[in-house]
Amino acid sequence: MNKTIRRASVFALLLVFALLLRATWVQFYEGQALADDTDNRRNAIETYAEPLGNIIVGGKAITGSAVTTDGDLRYKRTYTDGELYAAVTGYASQSYAPTQLEGIYADLLNGTDTRLKTALDTVTDKRADPGNVITTIDPDVQKAAYDALGDKKGAAVALDPTTGQILAVVSTPSYDPSTLTDANTAGTAWKKLNADSDKPLTNRALRQPLAPGSTFKLVVAAAALEDGLYSSVDEKTDSEDPYTLPGTRTVLKNENTSAPCENATIRVALQYSCNNVFAHMAVELGQDKLRAMAEKFGFNDDSQDVPVRAYPSVYPSGMDESSTALTGIGQFDVTATPLQMAMVSAALSNGGELVSPHMVSQITDGGGDVLADYDDQASSTRIVSSSTAEQLRSAMRTVVEKGTGTNALIDGVTVGGKTGTAQNGENNSKAPYAWFTSYGKSDSSGKEVAVAVVVEQSDAARSEVSGNGLAAPVAKAMMQAALKS
């Protein structure tokens, strides 16, 4: 054979061999990565080839699927009362990655979860019937919170203290997830939502920690009682009024200048929300003890899944005494989500034990068989002693009965709460945040609920902004809905 032909043949064989190697590599090593690529159109075609499973609230589906009229995606996601439940469901979009429960349980809802496959499905490689997500959300509590917040920018969370079930998760302003489902129209809606300065896509209830203001005084009081700094909520404290922040000339004032805050007991200090008492108490305890108590309640936890990952609420470190004093009134760098402050009230309501919060009760296959029961998996952690919890519940009742939280009073319900008005912006240049956290227990049924509400912005004049004026009525509506017989 001619040497040139022989060399050409060898070269050609090497090229074929290299091609085979590359094909094998792509098929067996890169195939899954290519299949999982979000830009792979086949994934969307497969996902929307059949109707999706549903998210269930109160025994009814709040999601659905509809046949599309054009394109290669046969079905699209639909929502019932989309704006009401957006903070729960998130969205499933033909154009964008799914969020919230839609994202967490995407495989279950589109039928690709391996737990859904029957033996026949495995043999035929047929996609299984999709499963469903059964939430813990109470539709009446959810609607009460949404309606009460109305046009205000804010958020609210309700928990069952005894089970950890999340009964409501509301964030306003909301959005309609249906506007993001269709690939033909999602882009326009996406741009509009992201251009909105009120950030309707942000889940304020779980993922926007803000200064909690005086609601954090419950954590400080818990630390003082647990540490033995004070033995009772009715023991007088050593608290000068006015109080000068340590190492400074800054005088910390009380909102109510005529309130009996000098050397006030913890009960009276919560009743009138005395800044001097809790700022001094924070310094007496020290930042390490305060942080330890805050972390027992859930602060600084960056793995809080409900199952949506909640942003961590923060108690800071590395402070001087003046900054530590400010943390005692929920300022400086202290931040909290409504979920976190609802957890504080829930733990106190439940005798000092916190049951892990969760908003999915069960997931099921297409036939209704339970694949996982999250109610059974809920864990309980002791945060404070039963004595401390009882004393703080008593003091919180005083706040509602004759203190700063009277707008939360409900006939036939034992209610305890704490108001908060947190500074916002440099030198408090913006409208303050209005907070309220509380627990309620039906006098007739014994049923319990814990809630937290924050109003970031409303039409109220700055002088009218208060936890009692803006947030407490929302909490009251939620508690009434949760505890109705």
- Per residue in 6-31, pLDDT tens? 776 777 777 777 677 776 665 655 55
The pLDDT score that the predictor gives to residue 11 is 74
Amino acid at 129: D
Confidence at residue 294, expressed as pLDDT on a 0 to 100 scale: 98
Q: Is 248 a member of any domain?
A: yes
List of long-range contacts for 395-399, beta carbons under 8 Å, 24+ apart = 395/221, 395/233, 395/266, 395/267, 395/270, 395/271, 396/218, 396/270, 396/345, 396/348, 396/438, 396/439, 398/267, 398/270, 398/271, 399/270, 399/271
Would 281 be classed as within a structural domain?
A: yes
Residues serving a catalytic function are 214
- Answer yes or no: is 1 within a domain: no
| 50 in a structural domain | no
Q: What are phi and psi of 64, to 5 degrees?
A: -160, -170
CB 415 within 8 A of CB 436: no
Is 403 a domain residue?
A: yes
- 120: tokens are 């026949």
Q: Give the Cα separation of 8 and 3 in Å (integer).
A: 9
Answer yes or no: is 231 within a domain: yes
Q: What angle do CA 254, 228, 268 make, to 5 degrees?
A: 30
pLDDT at 35: 47
Instruction: Specify the number of domains making up the chain.
Output: 1
pLDDT for the residue numbered 34: 44
- 324: domain CATH number? 3.40.710.10
25 within a domain of the structure (yes/no): no
Give residue 400's domain range. Answer: 207-483
Amino acid code (one letter) for 169:
V
- Mark residue 270 as left, alpha or beta (left: phi above 0; alpha: psi -120 to 50; beta: remaining): alpha
* Structure-token pair, residue 392: 């703080």
Is 364 part of any domain?
Answer: yes
What confidence score (pLDDT) does residue 28 get? 56
- Residues of the chain with confidence (pLDDT) below 50: 34-35
Whole-angstrom CA distances from 263 to 225, 235, 251, 276, 277 are 16, 9, 16, 9, 7
